[in-house]
Amino acid sequence: MNWNKMTLAALFTFFVLMGGRYTPAQSQGWNATTSSAMAASQRGEYAVAQTLYKQAIEMQKQTLGADDPAVATSLNNLAVSYQDQSLYPQAEQAYLQAVSILEKNTTQEPLTALTLNNLAALYYEEGADTKAEPLYKRALGIWEKPENKSTANETVSVIGLADIYHSRNEDTKAEPMYLRALTLWNEQGKSDSMEAADALFHLGEMYHSRSNNTDAAPMYAGALAIWGNTAQANSPEAITAQATLGEIYRAEGKYTEAEPLLAQSLKATELRLGADTLETATNMSHLALLYYCESKYDAAEPLYRKALEIRERNLGADDSTVQQTKQFYAALLRQEGRKAEAQKLEAQASANAAAHL
């Protein structure tokens, strides 16, 4: 979950909601200062931005009073600036001050929910899920009221809860939240966003772990379609999605669909981790098995040989994975008519297995 994008979205929304509440004479000074602060933050000049936000807060307190929602708005934005620098204690303090002000005025529920989302995102970034969860729930309760309906901000709360539940392996809670987020993104015309791709990937993981490949396959395919040619295309998540979807298609006999996925996952793994890693050997075995199923023995044989070499070197001859690889490789050699070589591998696998009985 990209907390930085979410907090910046809340930052600009704050200004929209605050618009028109004060006369030009009241707002001229601090509004110019907060605008300068926002511009400084966008340039990455965080120290300048923080100084300007603090100046705006003092002007607002003197003009409007310490408990005015405008003060809370500037405190929220100051917190965002701190959060952009990973200055978590300072950000937390500013968010809490903003929430304290906003909760005194029941007409400011949307602003309260925005700040709660931001504070929850801060806690999530720190790994403090137990603090983040109730804040997202409180914010979601506000967005669910008809008078406060905001699909975009509701999505932030929903996906925040989904990610928390998924990180705890509470997937019975995470699944409906991810599905709800996908529906909300679709309503916003953002069904092809990077956030939607992440949700699809997580749903794919959940369904695959339950051996529900009928539902897992379209989720992985959807995530891969969104990632496409982006920087995410060769990420660990994309490699996993390619490999898993390729295996699903292979098991279903959809060899034409499986081959490019398994080939790409192998290539990406080699580029990311190296040609002699166990992860690469796993992807080699997957592609080799597909070629075996397609009777492409010439293509499968070097992959099995290389996978066996990598695994034996890293795991030792007695490892069960090494023995299994030898058995698969032997079966391939028999199909190629190389009976003597197959028998040798089978004997080695049997001897190693017997030694561990």
Closest by Cα among 262, 257, 260, 256 to 244: 262
Within a 10 A sphere around the Cβ of 35, how many other Cβ atoms? 13
CATH number at residue 319: 1.25.40.10
| C-alpha 155 chain-centroid distance | 15
Question: Could you tell me which residues come within 8 angstroms of residue 27 by beta carbon, excluding any fewer than 6 positions away?
Answer: 70
Instruction: Identify the three-state secondary structure at position 70.
Output: helix
Instruction: Tell me the C-alpha distance between 7 and 14, whole Å.
Output: 11
Q: How many domains would you assign to the chain? A: 1
Q: What is the pTM of this model?
A: 0.86
Q: What are phi and psi of 356, to 5 degrees?
A: -105, 10
In a domain, 348, yes or no: yes
Q: 155-173: buried (b, 16+ CB within 10 Å) or exposed (e) per residue?
A: bbbbbbbbbbbbeeeebee
Please check whether residue 272 is in contact with residue 236, taking contact to mean a CB–CB distance below 8 angstroms: yes
Instruction: Tell me the C-alpha distance between 41 and 308, whole Å.
Output: 53
DSSP code at position 260: H
Please check whether residue 39 is in contact with residue 45, taking contact to mean a CB–CB distance below 8 angstroms: no
Q: Which two tokens stand for residue 338?
A: 């190389």
Instruction: Tell me the C-alpha distance between 71 and 21, whole Å.
Output: 13
In a domain, 347, yes or no: yes
Instruction: Tell me the C-alpha distance between 189 and 186, whole Å.
Output: 5
Instruction: Identify the three-state secondary structure at position 138.
Output: helix
In a domain, 314, yes or no: yes
Residue position matching structure tokens 């529920």: 109
Q: Which two tokens stand for residue 164?
A: 């928390």
Question: What is the residue-level pLDDT of the chain in tens, covering all 357 positions?
Answer: 444 444 444 444 454 444 445 555 556 677 788 888 888 888 989 899 999 999 989 998 988 899 999 899 999 999 999 998 999 999 999 999 999 999 988 888 999 999 999 999 999 999 999 999 999 999 999 999 999 988 999 999 999 999 999 999 999 999 999 999 999 999 999 999 999 999 999 999 999 999 999 999 999 999 999 999 788 888 999 999 999 999 999 999 999 999 999 999 999 999 999 999 999 999 999 999 999 999 999 999 999 999 999 999 999 988 889 988 988 999 999 898 899 988 888 887 776 655 554
Please check whether residue 184 is in contact with residue 200, taking contact to mean a CB–CB distance below 8 angstroms: no
In a domain, 61, yes or no: no
Question: Could you tell me which residues come within 8 angstroms of residue 63 by beta carbon, excluding any fewer than 6 positions away?
Answer: 26, 29, 30
In a domain, 294, yes or no: yes
Please check whether residue 213 is in contact with residue 248, taking contact to mean a CB–CB distance below 8 angstroms: yes
Closest by Cα among 68, 153, 69 to 114: 153
Residues of the domain holding 297: 274-357
DSSP code at position 188: T
In a domain, 91, yes or no: no
Instruction: Tell me the C-alpha distance between 206 and 198, whole Å.
Output: 13
Instruction: Tell me the C-alpha distance between 320 and 318, whole Å.
Output: 6
What pLDDT was estimated at residue 192? 93
In a domain, 200, yes or no: no
Helices and strands of the chain, counted as H and E runs = 17, 0
Within a 10 A sphere around the Cβ of 129, how many other Cβ atoms? 17
Q: Which two tokens stand for residue 345?
A: 């591998």
Instruction: Tell me the C-alpha distance between 112 and 143, whole Å.
Output: 10
In a domain, 335, yes or no: yes
What pLDDT was estimated at residue 28? 66
Instruction: Tell me the C-alpha distance between 246 and 261, whole Å.
Output: 5
